[in-house]
Structure 1
Amino acid sequence: MSDVVVIGGGIVGVSAALFLAEAGASVTLLEAEAVAAAASGRNAGSIQHPMDAVRSELYEESVAIHRRFGVIGDEAAGLLVVGPDADAAVAGAAAFPGLRAEPLDAAALRAVEPEMAEGLDGVLVHGTGYPAHPAAATHRLAEEARALGATIVEGVRAVPEVVGGRAVGARADDGTLHAADRVLVAAGPWSSALADPTGEWSPVSALWGVTMQVALPPGHGVRHRIEEWDEPFDAGVQFEATPLDDVTVLGASRTIETPDETTYAAAILSRAARFLPILASARTVKAATCARPVTPDGLPLLGPVPGVEDLHVAAGHGPYGISLGPASGRIAADVLLDRSAVPTAFATDRPSLGRGAHA
């Protein structure tokens, strides 16, 4: 029997397992497929500031955790914002120490990012945009969790076992009960359905996205995390690029329904080539589709599931999973161990979640 069973092997689940084990708790993590199989391994590959006050502390702590375990170094690549709404980045960055927004005209933009198309201007936000290979952060934290004594079992699909209004563990598809004093559901967009199969409590939903990995021709590269700031999306896609050691990650799409990967990958590449013409000569390495977990107010969901004793949830980070997940996992662990309370902004019964927040 474990102190805690965690359901879900994404960045939030493995972070919670790490901090639970570090605190001396016995923890078993059950993952239906493989660690980082979903959004935590299919993201845009950038750890970056959300530029809002509510989530900024999660970001700062997550950056410190990523540094502690060698996921990122001390220097950020910088976030380069282009598009009609780029000037909003100046005001957004101004509210946070450590971020400095530098407006760039077309010549200055091409000086810092030579592959950019001519005639564009933008804003360079220093101090954020840490490249991290999509699955690297999650695998590194899972490795550390195992080293601290956490048991991580892949290929086991499980649901919370609730008896008399209290969670007593997780029941696997083969009927095995993994007994525990408390259960944490950290299953991304599927968290609500696992926590409450009736559907009455459903504050987390799926927002689907497609990303691509491409290899640029020799001698060419991207230096910064780049994002197009423009609403609404053009044909469901918007340009973003993250430089990694061997590939550049391109994105992204946002759809409520599961997208056709081939169609959206072509649309992403076409739009991205407007900003980075060299992409016309790039080699496609792979495309990836994932569901991002979102909430009605855009804020993570951390803490006890209303109406069920000893059942907790940690989900709803949207496109900021690897940017906010480690700190969220730490908070989830502390709440499970009765060492701290859930921050009000991330409470599971907050009014901003709407009707679906209350069981």
Structure 2
Amino acid sequence: MSEFLVVGGGVIGMMTTLQLADAGHSVTLIERGRCGREASWAGGGIVSPLYPWRYSAPISRLSTWSEGYYPELALRLLEETGIDPEYRQRGLLYLRVSDEARAMAWARQVGKPLERVGPDFLYAKEPAVVPGLEEALWMPTLGSIRNPRLVRSLHARLAAMPGVTLREGCEVTGFRMAAGRVEAVATADGEVSGGQVIVCGGAWAAGLLAPLGVSLPVRPVKGQMILFRAPPGLVRRVVLMDGRYVIPRADGRVLAGSTLEEAGFDKTIDAAARESLWESAVAIAPALAGCEVEHHWTGLRPGSPDGVPFIGAVPGVANLHVNAGHYRNGLVLAPASTRLLVDQLLGREPIVDPAPYRPGREG
């Protein structure tokens, strides 16, 4: 029996497992499909909330910590696995920002580099963006990561660690309780026992906990994205305009996203969303109109009432914990939110005050 049992193999579950294993503990990770193939794979990989000045302090604290951690993590995983997560710190250009004064005030308050730039600077950085703009906001420190490769490298690292057991293709069907604690996790392949149980089920977390009488206000929020096959250098860095974005990859491909849809667990793609995403991308970088749309996909974000994740012990169950509800910022917040929970699990001084994230808080 492992000391820790993690339910859910997305980036939150895998980073939780990695940190516990790094601390010398045995961990079993249970994933109903393949690790990292849901929202962790589907997102864009921007290592910041889209408009960070519009978010609450609890999200800002986690995102700031995570942003500083990603370069180190990417280098570590490349060295240990040979799989490059492609962390790129090329900055972000904000076009047509409606609340510019608020953005600049936020940047001064938190000490974040953010500056207003003119057309010469803008088109020197991104010649392909829509012509005729007179200004933009420039955040030079922002990075992005190629999340499908991040999850591949995390999976490869965990598979090589002696204290880690990966059980993929193993769906959790319930929990066996005794004396106010989880005795075992029931799966389609039989029961699995662990000392402490951590639910990292993303959009499915509420459904996993409901049979225990635990009400977690996390719901699926559908998002669709498209991928252009573009020549390297057409788009050089992340560009955001009117709530939509384009994200370049090292090989030239450009992601464009994303939709926000309240559609339950429906993961179908549709032509209207594809057209809307194409139009938004071409409005940002007109040259993309001549590039093939190579792929169109969807993912389910774990929405929560205020966008602040639920991190910590589940009230009323002695050995049950949760880390879910990151909404649009799962990858952004993953290093910090998993570190915060692991700090609590191991009795360490937490990196931030855990109170705003506690399960059972009023939302």
- State whether residues 42 and 289 of structure 1, in contact with CA within 8 Å, keep that contact through their aligned partners in structure 2: yes
Deviations 1:19-51 (A, max 9, x none): 111122111001111111111011012212544
Measure how far apart 1:298 and its partner are.
Answer: 1.2
- Equivalent-residue separation in structure 2 for 1:31 and 1:7 (angstroms): 6
Measure how far apart 1:107 and its partner are.
Answer: 4.3
Letter in 1 for 2:257: G
Q: Secondary structure at the match of 1:151?
A: strand
Measure how far apart 1:141 and its partner are.
Answer: 2.7
- Equivalent-residue separation in structure 1 for 2:87 and 2:188 (angstroms): 43
Look up the match of 2:8.
8
2:314 aligned with 1:305, yes or no?
A: yes
Q: Secondary structure at the match of 2:114?
A: strand
Look up the match of 1:287.
296
Q: TM-score, normalised by structure 2?
A: 0.86
- Equivalent-residue separation in structure 1 for 2:160 and 2:341 (angstroms): 20
Deviations 1:196-242 (A, max 9, x none): 237760321111101111112x365112211124xxxxxxxx42111
- State whether residues 86 and 145 of structure 2, in contact with CA within 8 Å, keep that contact through their aligned partners in structure 1: no
- Equivalent-residue separation in structure 1 for 2:238 and 2:278 (angstroms): 16
Q: Secondary structure at the match of 2:115?
A: strand
Letter in 1 for 2:248: P
- State whether residues 5 and 169 of structure 1, in contact with CA within 8 Å, keep that contact through their aligned partners in structure 2: no
- Equivalent-residue separation in structure 1 for 2:313 and 2:217 (angstroms): 13
- State whether residues 18 and 158 of structure 2, in contact with CA within 8 Å, keep that contact through their aligned partners in structure 1: yes
Measure how far apart 1:270 and its partner are.
Answer: 1.4
CA RMSD of aligned residues (A): 2.3
Q: How does 1:210-221 map to 2 (within 5 A)?
A: 210-216=224-230, 218=231, 220-221=233-234
- State whether residues 86 and 123 of structure 1, in contact with CA within 8 Å, keep that contact through their aligned partners in structure 2: no
Q: How does 1:53-64 map to 2 (within 5 A)?
A: 53-64=57-68
In structure 2, relative to structure 1, the CA distance for the partners of 1:337 and 1:315 (3 Å cut) is: same
Measure how far apart 1:55 and its partner are.
Answer: 2.5
Measure how far apart 1:326 and its partner are.
Answer: 1.7
- State whether residues 17 and 333 of structure 1, in contact with CA within 8 Å, keep that contact through their aligned partners in structure 2: no
**Which of 294, 307, 324 is 1:315 aligned to?**
324
Q: Secondary structure at the match of 1:95?
A: helix
Q: Secondary structure at the match of 2:110?
A: coil
Structure 2, unmatched stretches of 5+, are 76-84
Q: How does 1:23-172 map to 2 (within 5 A)?
A: 23-48=23-48, 50-51=52-53, 52=55, 53-70=57-74, 76-85=89-98, 87=100, 88-97=102-111, 99-120=112-133, 121-128=135-142, 130-148=143-161, 149-164=163-178, 165-172=180-187
Measure how far apart 1:265 and its partner are.
Answer: 1.7
Measure how far apart 1:93 and its partner are.
Answer: 2.4
In structure 2, relative to structure 1, the CA distance for the partners of 1:146 and 1:286 (3 Å cut) is: same
- Equivalent-residue separation in structure 1 for 2:232 and 2:9 (angstroms): 37
Measure how far apart 1:306 and its partner are.
Answer: 2.0
Measure how far apart 1:17 and its partner are.
Answer: 0.4
Look up the match of 2:345.
336
Look up the match of 2:222.
208
- State whether residues 168 and 182 of structure 1, in contact with CA within 8 Å, keep that contact through their aligned partners in structure 2: no
Deviations 1:73-109 (A, max 9, x none): 8872112111242614323322223x21121334442
2:353 aligned with 1:348, yes or no?
A: no
- Greater shift, 320-329 or 161-170, is seen at 161-170
In structure 2, relative to structure 1, the CA distance for the partners of 1:199 and 1:78 (3 Å cut) is: farther
- State whether residues 74 and 87 of structure 2, in contact with CA within 8 Å, keep that contact through their aligned partners in structure 1: no
Look up the match of 2:260.
254
Q: Secondary structure at the match of 1:3?
A: strand
- Greater shift, 146-155 or 281-290, is seen at 146-155
- Equivalent-residue separation in structure 2 for 1:86 and 1:117 (angstroms): 20
In structure 2, relative to structure 1, the CA distance for the partners of 1:23 and 1:305 (3 Å cut) is: same
Look up the match of 2:21.
21
Look up the match of 1:225.
238
Measure how far apart 1:119 and its partner are.
Answer: 2.3
Letter in 2 for 1:261: I
Identity between Structure 1 and Structure 2 (%)? 29
- State whether residues 114 and 138 of structure 2, in contact with CA within 8 Å, keep that contact through their aligned partners in structure 1: yes
Q: Secondary structure at the match of 2:258?
A: strand
In structure 2, relative to structure 1, the CA distance for the partners of 1:177 and 1:200 (3 Å cut) is: closer
- Equivalent-residue separation in structure 1 for 2:281 and 2:202 (angstroms): 28
Measure how far apart 1:136 and its partner are.
Answer: 2.1
Letter in 1 for 2:222: W
In structure 2, relative to structure 1, the CA distance for the partners of 1:74 and 1:288 (3 Å cut) is: closer
